[in-house]
Amino acid sequence: MLNIFKHKNQPLYGADYNPDQWLDRPDILTRDIELMKEAGCTTMTLGVFAWTSYESEDGVYHFEWLDDAMDRLHQAGIGVFLATPTAAKPLWLSEANPEIRRVDRQGVREPSGERHNHCPSSQLFRQKSQAINRELAKRYAGHPALMLWHVNNEISGECFCESCLTEFRVWLQRKYGSLDALNAAWWAAFWNHSVTEWEQITPFDQSVDGMVLDWRRFVNDLHVSTLENEMVPLRELTPEIPCTTNFMSTFDTNNYYQWSKVLDLVSNDRYPLHDDRENSWQVSMRTEFVNALMRGMAKGQSWIQMECSPSSVNWWQVNKLKRPGVHFSEAMQYLAHGADAVHYFQWRKGRGGCEKFHGAVIDHDGSGQTRVFAECCEVGRALESCADISGVPREKSPVAIVYDWESKWAIRASVGPKAPRLEYPKADDVHTQTAREHYNALARMGVNADITFKDQDWSDYRCLILPSLYLIDADTAAKVSSYVEAGGVVVGTYLTAYVDPNNRVWNGGLPGAGLRSVFGVWNEEIDYLFEEESNTAMFNQGSEQDQSIVTDFAELIHAESAHGIAVYNQDFYQNRPVCTKNAFGTGTAFYVGARLDGQGLIRFYRDVLMAAKLKVRAEALPAGVVIQDRKGAAGRVFRFVFNFTRTKQAVELEGEWRDLVNDAHRFGSVELAPYATMTLISESVN
Ligand code: GAL
């Protein structure tokens, strides 16, 4: 366990804090520390955008406010996550050196200002970032409050300046070695796009979809090298202090799995829109999936929920307040999934700037009298009462879903695969949408799946799911094949194994890369349905419960060695298989060629989980109700029972439990009020 999680021996609790915005009000820091103690805070993040306050002109440093804040927080027993201030460039730096500002697709250089917008290939920006980080690390090495480096902030975006384009060409030369290899990889003979000089290459032509994919990889690599560059002085001068950067969930352009490999720990930001509409529970289910993704990237280590809002945000079109209980439930979701720290953006609302109405623990009234503050105190108490959890890795699930940014990128880059319909509250890419829907069905059956990745060891899993895993390389396909051969159960879905790592379709019939024989199916064609259209999948028994509505994607597959377990009921492909099962080696490969509804997926997974010899709940949980277990250090199990819906729900608990909030004995059927969360601890040690 990393040392930071031993601080106070409980899950950490805190927020982004900006004392630098209140330098003329020394009383504010004093009052804030009192309120932090009252709320049960253990840690604060300082200095996220504070560069100019440390370096007001080139090489002139002053750290007085930070010295004072670090010392006083430490005296109060509060640790510090210290941010490097590089997510917003100083005006003096960007005015004197325009090359650190980004250039857009039209070739226009951005003006100074805003944030999260340095040119990622600028050598000068890299030097200046290292210099300020070195000063911070020198000054605070050994400071007892320093617990973690929070590197930069929510890095993202791209730049089309000459330096970035040159770097792209160098990156391609390193990757392909020759133009012949590059042209072959990009299928460049199409539309006469063969490259004859490296200098001809630009990232603008979206018809070269192999190039579009490489540009994504290149930009992602630039961000990783930005992180690595920033961490050089931190690791040199404070080797015992871990480094992280805050992820943004499934953010499309950032391959966070790759990022997680260069960081010491994973942290995430999340701002779900809980707007109290009928399907708001789906938002919490997205958080469930994202948390499982973080857990997967953390590989069993503790991770940090670095930002969330204790109330509303200010940037959705309609910024609903979180209903009573919703915030508590969200905080417990992070904890249940292995986070050992819950931090907010932000501790205190500023008086100015475009985030002055963004939710915070302390409102403009400055008191501890608000509804939000009371709820934050409640979260603080709950985190204290779950002290036993801290640092104990969550146990692995027997089922894992493979998540893959490369497949997201390849589907987006390819013209053809349909975008998913606009889903509440916004559309995901197809890969993520499929992964989430399968995750949700399993959760309702009592199986909280892990998220894994192509290069991880799958041997502990009884069942592996490839959700629209569109891009697959030959090695991963061989790994899937060996996994099934050795007795594993695998699920493939529509849009799985279509293209190779260059975004070229696999020849020889889909699913490609040899998976046709593993699944025992040939996916000949795919039908895309209009929003108002649907088909029906009929499972063997054919009762009402054994049907599923099919929307969006309907593949016309042939069961070769496989046999059909469900067929389409309409259209010219009526009676053709939609779900299949194939014995391969000593394992089983299932294929689902269409987007089923929630009920249909549950029906499908009954067969899958039976083949994997896994126990499932006799009756599925209601949609929007989740049960998560996490073990504590003393061998007791903590159980979190969530009702994400706005109506009350009854849930059958297995075993005997004590309620951590009021000590009540809980067993059998329990009722949960709208948005209620039960935090329980097992009566027996095992
Ligand atoms: C995050 C960002 C924070 C704050 C927050 C508002 O994306 O890291 O600095 O702007 O959003 O929701």
**How much distance in Å is there from the Cα of 50 to the middle of ligand 1?**
15
Q: Which helix (H) or strand (E) holds 268?
A: strand 267-269
Q: Is the peptide bond before 333 cis (omega within 30 degrees of 0)?
A: no
Q: Is the peptide bond before 501 cis (omega within 30 degrees of 0)?
A: no
Q: Which atom of ligand 1 is nearest the CA belonging to 248?
A: 7
**How much distance in Å is there from the Cα of 219 to the middle of ligand 1?**
22
Spacing of C-alpha 179 from chain mean position: 36
- The DSSP result for 216-264, as a single string, is HHHHHHHHHHHHHHHHHHHHHH-TTS-EE-EE-TT-TT--HHHHHTTSS
What is residue 475's predicted lDDT score, i.e. its pLDDT?
98
Q: Which atom of ligand 1 is nearest the CA belonging to 153?
A: 8
Q: Is the peptide bond before 511 cis (omega within 30 degrees of 0)?
A: yes
What is residue 276's predicted lDDT score, i.e. its pLDDT?
87
Neighbours of 232 (CB within 10 A): 15
Residue type, 351: R
Cβ–Cβ < 8 Å for 375, 309: no
**How much distance in Å is there from the Cα of 92 to the middle of ligand 1?**
24
Among residues 612, 550, 536, 551, the alpha carbon closest in space to that of 581 is found at 612
Give yes or no: 525 in active site. no
**Which residue is closest in CA terms to ligand 1's atom 3?**
345
**Which residue is closest in CA terms to ligand 1's atom 10?**
355
**Rounded CA gap, 626 and 275, in Å?**
19
Q: Which of the listed residues 345, 354, 355 should we mutate to test ligand 1's pocket, taking the one with most ligand atoms within 8 A of CB?
A: 345
Sheet containing 246-247, strands listed edge to edge, beginning at the edge strand earlier in sequence: 243-244, 146-150, 79-83, 43-46, 12-17, 339-344, 303-307, 267-269, 246-247
Residue type, 73: L
Sheet containing 665-672, strands listed edge to edge, beginning at the edge strand earlier in sequence: 625-631, 637-643, 677-682, 649-659, 665-672
**Rounded CA gap, 632 and 627, in Å?**
16
- The sign of the CA dihedral 377, 383, 387, 388 is positive
Neighbours of 129 (CB within 10 A): 25
**How much distance in Å is there from the Cα of 344 to the middle of ligand 1?**
10
What is residue 453's predicted lDDT score, i.e. its pLDDT?
98
List, chain by chain if needed, residues with CB within 6 Å of any ligand 1 atom: 153-154, 269, 271, 307, 313, 345, 355, 358
**How much distance in Å is there from the Cα of 299 to the middle of ligand 1?**
26
Q: Which atom of ligand 1 is nearest the CA belonging to 246?
A: 8
**Rounded CA gap, 328 and 212, in Å?**
42
**Which residue is closest in CA terms to ligand 1's atom 5?**
345
**Which residue is closest in CA terms to ligand 1's atom 7?**
154
> Which residue among the candidates 307, 375, 406, 555 is catalytic per the annotation?
307
Residue type, 75: Q
Cβ–Cβ < 8 Å for 536, 574: no
Q: Which atom of ligand 1 is nearest the CA belonging to 154?
A: 8
Q: Which of the listed residues 153, 154, 245 should we mutate to test ligand 1's pocket, taking the one with most ligand atoms within 8 A of CB?
A: 154
What is residue 433's predicted lDDT score, i.e. its pLDDT?
94
- The DSSP result for 593-627, as a single string, is -EEE-HHHHHHHHHHHHHHTT----SSPPPTTEEE
Q: Which atom of ligand 1 is nearest the CA belonging to 314?
A: 12
**How much distance in Å is there from the Cα of 654 to the middle of ligand 1?**
40
Among residues 305, 301, 240, 229, the alpha carbon closest in space to that of 265 is found at 301
Residues 6+ apart with CB under 8 A from 591: 491, 492, 493, 511, 519, 521, 557, 562, 579, 580, 582
Residue burial 13-35, b: 16+ Cβ < 10 Å; e: rest: bbbbbbbbbbeeeeebbebbbeb
Among residues 384, 383, 382, 372, the alpha carbon closest in space to that of 348 is found at 372
Cβ–Cβ < 8 Å for 285, 644: yes
**Rounded CA gap, 419 and 442, in Å?**
24
**Which residue is closest in CA terms to ligand 1's atom 12?**
313
Burial class (CB in 10 A: 0-12, 13-18, 19+), 153: buried
Q: Which residue blocks in 242-370 are alpha helix, DSSP H?
A: 256-260, 281-298, 326-336
**How much distance in Å is there from the Cα of 242 to the middle of ligand 1?**
22
Q: Which atom of ligand 1 is nearest the CA belonging to 48?
A: 9
**Rounded CA gap, 39 and 677, in Å?**
20
**How much distance in Å is there from the Cα of 54 to the middle of ligand 1?**
21
By 3-state DSSP, what share of the chain in percent is helix, strand and coil, each rounded to 5? 35, 25, 45
Residue 382 dihedral angles phi and psi, to the nearest 5°: -65, -40
Q: Which helix (H) or strand (E) holds 450?
A: strand 450-452
**How much distance in Å is there from the Cα of 248 to the middle of ligand 1?**
10
Neighbours of 67 (CB within 10 A): 13
Q: Which of the listed residues 151, 307, 330, 347 should we mutate to test ligand 1's pocket, taking the one with most ligand atoms within 8 A of CB?
A: 307
Q: Which atom of ligand 1 is nearest the CA belonging to 49?
A: 9
Q: Which helix (H) or strand (E) holds 163?
A: helix 162-176
pLDDT by 10-residue block (mean), the chain, 686 residues: 90 98 95 98 98 97 97 98 98 98 98 97 98 98 98 98 98 98 98 98 96 98 98 98 98 97 98 88 96 96 97 91 94 97 98 97 98 98 94 94 97 84 72 97 98 98 98 98 98 98 98 98 96 94 84 97 97 98 98 97 97 94 97 92 97 93 94 96 80
What is residue 428's predicted lDDT score, i.e. its pLDDT?
85
> Which residue among the candidates 55, 154, 158, 555 is catalytic per the annotation?
154
Give yes or no: 135 in active site. no
Residue type, 451: I
What is residue 567's predicted lDDT score, i.e. its pLDDT?
97
Q: Which of the listed residues 84, 267, 269 should we mutate to test ligand 1's pocket, taking the one with most ligand atoms within 8 A of CB?
A: 269
**Rounded CA gap, 159 and 172, in Å?**
17
